[in-house]
Amino acid sequence: MPAVILERVLVAVGLFLVGVAAYDLVQRKHAILRTFPVIGHLRFLVEAVGPELRQYIVTSNDEELPFNRDQRRWIYSSAKRQDNHFGFGTDKDLERSPNFLIIKHAAFPLAATTSDRLPCAKVLGAARGRRLAFRPASAVNISGMSFGALSGRAVEALNRGAALAGCWHNTGEGGLAPHHAHGADVIFQIGTGYFGCRDAAGNFELSRLVDLAAAHPVRAVEIKLSQGAKPGLGGVLLAAKVRGEIPAIRGVPAGKDCISPPGHREFSDVDGLLEFVERIAEATGLPVGIKSAVGEPAFWHDLTARMAATGTGVDFVTVDGGEGGTGAAPLVFADHVSLPFKVGFARVWRSFAEAGLTDRVVFIGSGKLGFPENALLAFALGADAVSVGREAMLAVGCIQAQRCHTGRCPTGVATQSAWRSRALVPEVKALRLTNYVSELRRELLQLSHACGVAHPALVTAEHLEVLDSRFGATSVGQLFAYEPGWAMPSDADQAAIAGLMALPV
């Protein structure tokens, strides 16, 4: 570079820095800049890129939350069909890790399997004779995450991937979008805003739901009571985001805040809920269930008591753990409201067991269950299926930047920005989702075979133990106060599984 140009560049940079320094000294917002003009900006820069620095450079393999590097690596490599093995042996400190799960293998395991065929051990809606009862082809499915929280292209990738994997795709509470219409079976979720099935005043409109179910491959309806990451709170999609396709899909006015209230208008007690369930099941013929996080126990005792007394009831229960994800929630709700999955699910399952109802309900779990060991524990506690949310996001390209609430997702998964979502190519990411779901099912089957049984539904709480940090270990059955034989499918369901799993792959 000629010396004269270099000189001018240096003068320009010098003047710029003097300008920044002058501004920093007189501005009143940031104390650090008033004391340390110019170099004080480094602090903001480091704060901004700190999460990425820690994620890739500083933290160890199993340090981060919600998902550590080992977990993310397992999802990414499974999704890309790359080698997902880990070499040299465990890097977990088994003797100093309290609550460490141990799966007790059988001395005489079943033959090795490479199959990923994992149908649900129960028929959804059979116990109450729903017209459109069905056996879910996959015991691993995609959890509800609305179009609105996720980009249209992410929803499309999930839907296409779910279709290829033969699992269902839950719409989330934001209604059924064209992005959900790429071949997968759909579970339609009804949230407190009744989006997609409401009238102009925001009341639930049954005829809209019936029309919607008739026009799409809706296989079941899920009434959302609450979500683990923000129970009892509801939510809001800000006016700025209520544009484009969203107002028509949700049935809300454009350019106004779109509110999900904390509770439902259609019912305010268990009898009202059960009446609502029957109304929907009768009109649509579909199995109808609820999704809820676990807080006060009275609700579950009332629900099981009324179900046992009346013979009416929900066809499925999705229990969402407090460690579950969300597009946006206040920190205190995400951290402190509602029980974590294992504790909450076991309490709910025990309520149903004590009322003698577990064979009449399909239990679904969610809350970081998209890993073989976590899913297996859920099955051992009585889950018949698991739903994966953020793990599915990771499979389609999420990097855990944790910016879902800002709309500035760097990978186009959780944003409504056309520019950012352009990065995500649905056809490519759909295959990743399929591979991930297939690998999770395969490893679940391999674990079951290692335990000497053909299906994870046959793995019991006695197959699992939890280590403490004093060389002690307690069975999961004992820890969660399960009686021997609990959480096993009925004789009829066991016979059906034996038949299904014996089919050639």
Ligand X SMILES: Cc1cc2nc3c(=O)[nH]c(=O)nc-3n(C[C@H](O)[C@H](O)[C@H](O)COP(=O)(O)O)c2cc1C
Stretch that binds ligand X, among 93-101, 137-145, 160-168, 452-460 (CB under 6 A): 137-145
Site for ligand X in 104-133 (CB under 6 A): none
E-state strands within 130-230: 140-142, 169-170, 186-190, 218-224
Q: Which residue of 326, 400, 421, 446 would you call a contact of ligand X, by CB under 6 A?
A: 326
Peptide bond preceding 66 in cis form (omega within 30 of 0) = yes
**Span from 13-21, 27-35, 145-153, 421-429 in contact with ligand X (CB under 6 A):** 145-153
Residue 391 binding ligand X, by CB under 6 A: yes
Q: Is 388 in the site for ligand X (CB under 6 A)?
A: yes
The residue among 189 and 284 lying less far from ligand X, judged by its C-beta, is: 189
Q: Is 334 helix (H, G, I), strand (E, B) or coil?
A: helix
> Binding residues for ligand X, how many (CB under 6 A)?
28
Contact letters for ligand X, residues 233-262 (x by CB under 6 A): ------------------------------
CA atoms within 13 A on the CB side of 348: 32
The closest alpha carbon to 209, from 279, 312, 134, 301, belongs to 279
What does the alpha-carbon distance between residue 320 and residue 294 come to, in Å, rounded to a whole number? 7
Length of the chain in terms of residues written: 505
For CA atoms 296, 301, 139, 179, the dihedral sign is: negative
Question: For the chain, how long is the longest CA-to-CA vector?
Answer: 92
368 binding ligand X? (CB under 6 A): yes
Among positions 125, 196, 325, 382, the unique one binding ligand X when judged by CB under 6 A: 325
Per CB under 6 A, does 224 bind ligand X? Answer: yes
> DSSP letters along 255-286, please?
TS-EEE-SS-SS-SSHHHHHHHHHHHHHHH--
* For ligand X, the closer CB: 37 or 152: 152
169 binds ligand X (CB under 6 A): no
Residue 90, number of CB atoms within 10 A of its CB = 7
User: Is 433 one of the binding residues for ligand X (CB under 6 A)?
Assistant: no
**396 binds ligand X per the rule CB under 6 A:** no
Nearer to ligand X, 155 or 213 (CB): 155
Q: Which range touches ligand X (CB under 6 A), out of 206-214, 298-306, 366-374, 417-425?
A: 366-374
Q: How far is the CB of 502 from ligand X (least distance, A)?
A: 31
Q: Which parts of 319-425 fold into alpha helices (H)? A: 331-336, 341-354, 372-380, 390-395, 418-421
Contacting residue, 320, 443, 465, 493, with ligand X by CB under 6 A: 320
Based on the shown chain and the rule CB under 6 A, indicate whether residue 400 belongs to the binding site for ligand X.
no
Contact residue for ligand X among 127, 140, 149, 467 (CB under 6 A): 149
Token digits for 183? 């071949």
Least Cβ distance, residue 369 to ligand X (angstroms): 6
CA distance 374 to 67: 13
143 lies in the site for ligand X, by CB under 6 A: yes
Calculate ∠ Cα 21-22-25, nearest 5°: 85
**Alpha carbon distance 369, 77 (integer Å):** 18
184 near ligand X, judged by CB under 6 A: no
**Binding status of residue 185 toward ligand X by CB under 6 A:** no
Q: Which stretch binds ligand X (CB under 6 A): 176-184, 262-270, 360-368, 451-459?
A: 360-368
Given the rule CB under 6 A, which of 127-135, 364-372, 449-457, 496-504 is the region that contacts ligand X?
364-372
Question: C-alpha distances in angstroms, 263 versus 204, 233, 374?
Answer: 13, 8, 30
Give the interface with ligand X as residue ranges (CB under 6 A). 143-146, 149-150, 172-174, 189, 224, 227, 291, 320, 324-327, 366-368, 370, 388-391, 404, 414
